[in-house]
Structure 1
Amino acid sequence: MSESSTAAETGRKRRRAARACRWCRAKKYRCDEEQPCHQCQRWNVSCEYEGAERLKTRQASQIIYQHNFTQELLTTSESADVSNKVFSSPTRQLRPSQRQSPDSHSGRIGGFRSSINRPDVSDEVDEVNTHTLNNEFHGPTSSLAFLATIQRQNRNQARSNVDQLPPSEDQPSSLVSTFHNEIFSPTSAAYTTTEWQKLSANSFYFRQSQLFLNGYFQNLHYIHPIVDRVKFFSRCENIWFDRPSNPSKSFIALYYSIMSLGALTREWDEESLDTTNRFDWARKMFTLASMAIGEFPGRSDPESVQAYIIMAKICQNELNPNLAYMYLGHAIRTSFSAGYNRHPSTEGAHHQEISRTWWALYSLEMETSFALGRPDSLGDDIYHTRQLPAIDGSPTMLINCMVDLAKIIKKVSYSVYLSGENITQKVMIAGQLETELENWLSALPQIIRPPSLDSMGDETSLKSNIPAWANRQSHTLRFRYYNVKMVLYRPFLLYLGHRATHTPGHFDSAVAKCVSAATKTIELMHHMFCHYSYFRTWWYNTTYTLYAASIIVFYAQKVASPPEISGLLRLVEMSVDVLKTMNDNVVAKKAAATITKASLRIREERSFNNEAAPIDEPGSTTQDSLATNAEGGVPDLFDETMYDPFDQDQLDFMTRLFPLSVDSDFTWDDRADAT
């Protein structure tokens, strides 16, 4: 049935396009006035308008009007103290409980200030730029915020005079639009015909998408629950079945990034799919995601931030932490520019999604910066006033838990590694932070709280019919707990290892805790790889395993007594077994060879008692294979010159320990063979 006949039956006239693009005008097509319009997307042509500035203004007018109208109501209600009668949404003047960041700790630990008073947020500017259609945020120290305050005060003064009529321009223009430089303004241009053909190839790889998308949503989505699954698949159906939805670049980038991560981390029962293996599929999808999102900066919308986060997770699981750090930087700057870290004046349709996305980004940025020994780009918590997601018994409750852990992680960096306290004071500070870590563990929601740390506890969890997402989150929290404890006490292990003589002292307890956390990490990792097949594709586990094994090797070389060596080498064997399970990943393969080489050195340097039984070599690695690995550049990681526990460079422990300079046929910037 034609649209005209449908309109006649319903008694409504078909909406006529106020201004069609040049292609639709020439072909007599109906134009939907989008940028680009549906017809131009369908025919893969450049979408151009005559009088484009007026079209942009018309497209944005409704958004601008609604936004400014809301701001006017808020200002009027605050000045007249009748907010409950005029407007029921939260006002810009937030309650103290809303202005407070999730970090409720006070005082100072090791020179790190954890919270300070919140400023008044009534003088902020949060407007839509009509030239870019992006939301822009300007804080109270900016000149635009000062101009907005003057503008608002002038309007209030005019209205307070009953003899003076309101000015004719009662609906003020957007300040960010007024002061926008149209001549120099990087914009997201429409896709070229070639780009769109690559992005939409095979209906956006519809047949493979069923496997790859489910590979993500049934797996790592539970650890980073930022995407609304129902909404996401609804929008996917629009692009799969060519519905006139005009998908944005940011959504296409999010789509392909999730496809990539799903292909990389799903369980593969087959070696290849359509003659392409796991890594090639993941990297092809990653290249398409990079092409879709375009050059930075792009759109300031939630999908852009989510795409950057997922792309960072891909880089982490490809064991390229440097690139992950850079993508997270893009995500944070985009969030700041749109004000996603701030409590909104009105809670729109995307409020909960933005809240989940921002706080998940917050914890991931802190964790990644911590692992690399680099400063995070989050700034002080005083800036982050957006409320945390509600704890409603769903998988999103993990976000709140990880934010709390991120606060402790930041204190470890500042108080143990970067402060000027002496070694004795740092031991005391570490004890205080361990208490905070234990309190965090005990306060976790029951459904995702790890069982007793003295046992695996997995059988109990399975018998209790705990959902799969809760088991995955519980395991993840347990690994991160051990990781933080290892890093917290690692400097004292290095300090003790450098001492010429070892006398019993209060450092022994700190070293024992570090080694214990490393031991439990390896034992739990080995248990998970034996009993949970999905866990074998979480390639980022290489980092945890290598870190724990490195601590065990160093302890065995420098501190351990001869009777301990046998048990320590057993742990090294277990870590090598785990790394060999991930043999498809070139970095995991090199890590296994590195740890094996270090264990051989221990056997050569340590003499055992005659009563000790000989120990087999870990796994089946031979001297020939070690020679081959050495030719390939396996580093000798355990030279004494590397270990200065409080050198600033030592904060970047994993990069120094294992530089991850991996030779691979794949290059992240190679986009020529996207299809």
Structure 2
Amino acid sequence: MFTTFVGMTASSTVSSASASGGSSSPHRPRQKKRSQVARACDWCRVHRIKCDNDHPCSNCKSRGRQCSNSGAMKSTTLPHAYQEIERLRQRVQELELELELPKERKADNDKTVHELNTQSSVPPGTSDERDLDFQVGGGRAKRFPEGIYISTARSPQKTWYGSSSLFYFIGRINTFLTSALQETHSAHRMLPNSASFLLDAPTTVSGEDHSQGGRLVAVPTDDPVNAGDYLTPTQEEYFLDLFWQSYYTSFPILDELEFKEHYQSLWATSDKERRPSALVDIVIAVCMQYGMARLPGVGRGLSAASRASVNDNDATIAGRWHYRRCQTLLSSQLESPTISTLQCHILCSIYLCCGSFQNMADNACSLAVRTAYMLGLHLEPPQTMPRREKEIRKRLWWTLYVLETKMSMKLGRPFLLHDSSTTCSLPADDREIAMLSGSSFAPLGENVTWLTWNLHNTKLMLAARTAYTAFYDNVPNTSNVCNAQSITERLEAWLKGVPEALKTKRQNNGAPFSTDLSALEVEQFTPLWLQRQRLLLELMYHNLCTNLYRPSISFALARAPDPLTDRAAMKCSAHAMALTHMMHQVLLSTPILAGWHEAFQWQWNAAMTLVGFVLAYPQGASTQAARSAIDLAVAVFENFGNSFAVAASAASIMSDLSAKVDLFIVQSQGMHGVAMQLARNCEESGDEGLINGNSTAAQTLDGPLRFDDENAAEITGVLAQSIDIFAAETYNDLDWSGINSNFSDQWAFTQQ
């Protein structure tokens, strides 16, 4: 501004001199007025010369200097300056954290041998993976998204499952077995032969050979609304009655009186054929799937291969015609959905999940979520609405919340429902609303009704989701990698509120919801629906605990013991064993869970977790108990296998994995024996280089051991003493080349 002022003064002086009539100076043309400059560049301002708005300015351009006038808007006020400082400070923090994360990931990867080809969830060709560590527009760091791309259906197209999913854990087991046993394994061989491997949709396959590449393919079917493929009125009545004693008490999303009135109205014009109804069709489909699976001895007398083969009579796809007609009828309701539309979407997701159609079930659940938002169920119902209607809306919303939370955690995918957008309160469970719902179940005392189970099941899912989010939504560090204490505190706080009427008693003073493996005391005269509610609540509790603690199971061949991680892994195994023991007793002695598909899926999840635990801890106090629980799981699968093929396939897979687990245990015992023999030899010869206090020999070995023929013969003799469950030819077929090459690391692993 000083330069500009001087220039204006000089110009004014010249004009005054001309006006006074001075003849000594020649006539000069009037100068063009210079454009105003808000701020001169640094160089012009220092030298107090005129500057312009060019970028760079003409003075700097003519002198070849670097002009500070870049054209960018600068902070001209104090608030702007504070905002710029805060922005720069936040950006520095982001960049520092971004530099630290790759170092932590690399250190973690160096410690483990499981290296999935799809550690990153970013498909090839996308932007830098590190960009996913931060929320868009914010600076809060999130956990790096791990996962696995795997084909879980007949199509070769692979889909993504997150790190909390069982598919990801199976991938880790597969990679470890390939490395430890020096054999080639396929993760697909660890997936049961469900209908999802054969069909695009829960429909049917032809008896003719339509195989492609060793897999059956679906063949075109007739119009799904063909009435000739449906049930008679008497058969429909049977399956509808089955619904009120099974799924209705676990998913209270219907009003019994309203549904029965609606069903009767469909027969108003004919007594031979009812009018189409999407809701009635999907209820019948769900109950046909459950009812066919609970029939005793369907697969008895068949070979193992026949029982494990999915055909058009399999229970998991029973009711497929009703499901398909429901889908056809729902297509006309998508633009103007109703409460009935939402009920259909929820039941469709349940039907598909029980049929092992993982991605289809996820899609149906997402449709239900969007429909619920369209209906405004996430908001608190108006006060003017009748209480009966308000409570059914609340139960619908929170049942969907539980379903979507289970689905997302099971598949390792982001949640669709969020607490921040929800104002709907939890549903009531008092006697008045239990009677208003139209059901005739008697109260259970202690202010407990048939709706109380749904309330506590919802609270359990809220507690588990809080622990899940705390672990997976943050960058891994020492405080949340295996924060078993935090998980335990949240779930124990929930457990304190569970009434005694919803707990299954134990024999010999055992504690419900514990891992003491005490036998159940099943009350003989308790209604079947209440017995099932009690068992489902406790089984869900153990299943969630198993999943929350499972990331602590590490398949590193050589690592230092970590008390925090090891304790969490032990808890994971304890809950998986508790679930297996409960399932074994209930299935083999009662009909409570016969044909219950979700219970089978929980058992499959627990069995695969136990396999991983035994591989990670082949030498430990709880290894033998976990290995025995795997045998109980096989018996459970064989029992379920009498009803549907996927369970028979699971029994076959688990038997094969059991043999591999035993082989690995023998190898680890052999390496342990060899190490002890070497230690004794060193101690006798006075060699203190290998024996030093309580440290392991592996910590002092400088390189891999070299075995000549004499040493190999000695090792063979030591190993032979520990092998008592395999034939001699099995032992001779073992490939010890992998063990000889890195003996020290593998022996150190067995000392944990």
For residues 238 and 203 of structure 1, the distance between their equivalents in structure 2, rounded to whole angstroms, comes to 19
Residue number in structure 2 paired with 1:130: none
Aligned to 1:602: 661
Q: Is residue 585 of structure 1 aligned with residue 644 of structure 2?
A: yes
Superposition deviation, residue 536 in structure 1: 2.7
Report the counterpart of residue 342 of structure 1 in structure 2.
Answer: 379
Q: Are the structure 2 counterparts of residues 309 and 517 from structure 1 closer, same or farther at C-alpha, using a change threshold of 3 Å? A: same
Q: 2:603 aligns with which of 545, 551, 555?
A: 545
Q: Give the corresponding residue for 1:419.
A: 474
Mark the CA change 1:448 to 1:316 in structure 2 (over 3 Å): closer, same or farther: same
Q: Distance in 2 between matches of 1:558 and 1:614?
A: 22
User: 1-side partners of 2:625 and 2:326: how far apart?
Assistant: 46
The alpha-carbon distance between structure 1 residues 486 and 294, as it changes in their structure 2 partners (threshold 3 A), is: same
| Alignment partner of 1:223 out of 245, 250, 257 | 250
Match of 2:409 in 1: 370
Q: Is 1:212 aligned to 2:273, yes or no?
A: no
Task: Work out which of the residue numbers 569, 572, 576 in structure 2 matches 1:511.
Answer: 569
Match for 2:550 among 490, 499, 504?
Answer: 490
Structure 2 letter corresponding to 1:467: P
For 1:388 and 1:410, the matched residues in 2 are separated by: 19
Distance 1:432 1:277, change over 3 A: closer
2:260 corresponds in structure 1 to 233
Q: What residue identity is the alignment partner of 1:253?
A: A
Out of 532, 551, 569, the residue aligned to residue 472 of structure 1 is: 532
What CA distance in whole angstroms lies between the structure 1 residues aligned with 2:568 and 2:623? Answer: 19
The aligned counterpart of 1:527 is 585
- Measured against aligned partners, the alpha-carbon deviations of 1:45-67 in whole angstroms (never above 9, x if no partner) come to xxxxxxxxxxxxxxxxxxxxxxx
The count of corresponding residues between Structure 1 and Structure 2 is 417
Q: In the alignment, which residue of structure 1 is the partner of 2:210?
A: none
Supply the AA of the counterpart residue of 1:347.
M
2:634–2:651: 8 Å Cα contact kept in structure 1? yes
Kept in 2, the 8 Å contact 1:298–1:304? The answer is no
Give matches, 1:167-246, under 5 Å. 198=226, 205-242=232-269
In 1, Cα distance between equivalents of 2:412 and 2:652: 25
Partner of 2:150: none
Which structure would you say has the larger Rg?
2
1:436 corresponds to which residue? Answer: 490
Specify the code of the residue in structure 2 equivalent to 1:441. Answer: L
SS state of the match for residue 476, structure 1?
helix
Deviation at 1:456, TM superposition (A): 5.1
CA contact (8 A) 2:517 2:581 kept: no
Check the 8 A contact 2:528/2:592 in 1, yes or no: no
Aligned match of 1:166: none
C-alpha RMSD over aligned residues = 3.4
Q: 1:383 to 1:294 in 2, by over 3 A?
A: same
Conservation of the 8 A alpha-carbon contact between 2:377 and 2:393: yes
Spell out, residue by residue over 1:363-399, the C-alpha distance to the aligned partner (whole angstroms, 9 max, x if none). 1111111111111211234423245233433322222
In the TM superposition, residue 279 of structure 1 has moved relative to its aligned partner by: 4.9
Structure 1 pair 202/482, CA: closer, same or farther in 2 (3 Å)?
closer
- The offset of 1:565, in angstroms, is 4.9
Note closer, same or farther for the CA distance 1:560–1:270 as it changes in structure 2 (3 Å cut). Answer: closer
TM-score (norm 1): 0.56
Superposed displacement of residue 591, structure 1? 2.4
Deviation (angstroms), 1:615? 5.3
Is the contact made by 1:216 and 1:265 (CA closer than 8 Å) also made in structure 2? Answer: no
Amino acid at match of 2:660: R
User: Which residue of 2 is the match for residue 351 of structure 1?
Assistant: 390
Q: Distance in 2 between matches of 1:378 and 1:420?
A: 22
Cα distance in structure 2, aligned partners of 1:471 and 1:484: 20
Aligned pairs (5 A) from 1:58-73: none
The farther-off stretch of 556-565 and 325-334 is: 556-565
- Give 3-state SS (helix, strand or coil) of 2:380's partner: coil
1:319/1:540 contact within 8 Å kept: no
C-alpha separation between the residues in 2 aligned to 1:197 and 1:411?
44
**Correspondence for 1:396 among 442, 451, 455:** 451
Match of 1:61 in 2: none
> Could you list the runs of 5+ residues in structure 2 that have no partner in the other structure?
1-139, 143-221, 300-311, 432-447, 506-510, 671-719, 731-752
Letter in 1 for 2:568: A
Supply the distance in 1 between the matched residues of 2:581 and 2:624 (Cα, whole angstroms): 15
Separation in structure 2 between the aligned mates of residue 235 and residue 224 of structure 1, nearest angstrom: 19
Distance 1:423 1:473 in 2: 38
CA contact (8 A) 2:573 2:626 kept: no
Q: Aligned equivalents of 1:111 and 1:213: distance in 2?
A: 50
Give SS of 2:482's match.
helix
Distance change >3 Å, CA 423–CA 541, structure 1 → 2: farther
- Unpaired stretches in structure 1, ≥5 consecutive residues: 1-109, 113-193, 618-622, 624-675
Q: Find the residue that maps to 2:455 and give its secondary structure.
A: helix
Identity over the aligned pairs, expressed in percent? Answer: 19
Question: CA deviation digits over 1:407-456, x for unaligned, max 9?
Answer: 2222233211231141444334x312211101212211321134423355
Aligned to 1:290: 327
TM-superposed deviation, 1:531 = 1.9
Aligned counterparts of 1:562 and 1:277: Cα–Cα separation in 2: 41
Does the aligned pair in 1 maintain the 2:229–2:321 contact within 8 Å?
A: no
Q: 1:364, 1:311 → 2: CA distance?
A: 12
The amino acid across from 1:606 in the alignment is I
CA shift for structure 1 position 404? 1.3
Q: Is the 8 A contact 1:388 1:400 kept in 2?
A: yes
Deviations 1:493-547 (A, max 9, x none): 22xx326134362322212111101111111111121122241311222321122
The aligned counterpart of 1:100 is none
- Is residue 560 of structure 1 aligned with residue 655 of structure 2? no
Distance 1:586 1:326 in 2: 24
Distance 2:558 2:333 in 1: 52
**Structure 2: distance between partners of 1:484 and 1:564:** 20
- Judging changes above 3 Å, is the alpha-carbon distance between structure 1 residues 202 and 285 closer, same or farther for their aligned structure 2 residues? closer
1:344/1:386 contact within 8 Å kept: no
Per mean C-alpha deviation after superposition, the further-off stretch among 574-583 and 358-367 is 574-583
Provide the residue aligned with 1:449 in structure 2.
503
CA contact (8 A) 1:525 1:545 kept: yes
Q: Are the structure 2 counterparts of residues 204 and 357 from structure 1 closer, same or farther at C-alpha, using a change threshold of 3 Å?
A: farther
Give the whole-Å Cα distance in 2 for the aligned partners of 1:242 and 1:271. 38
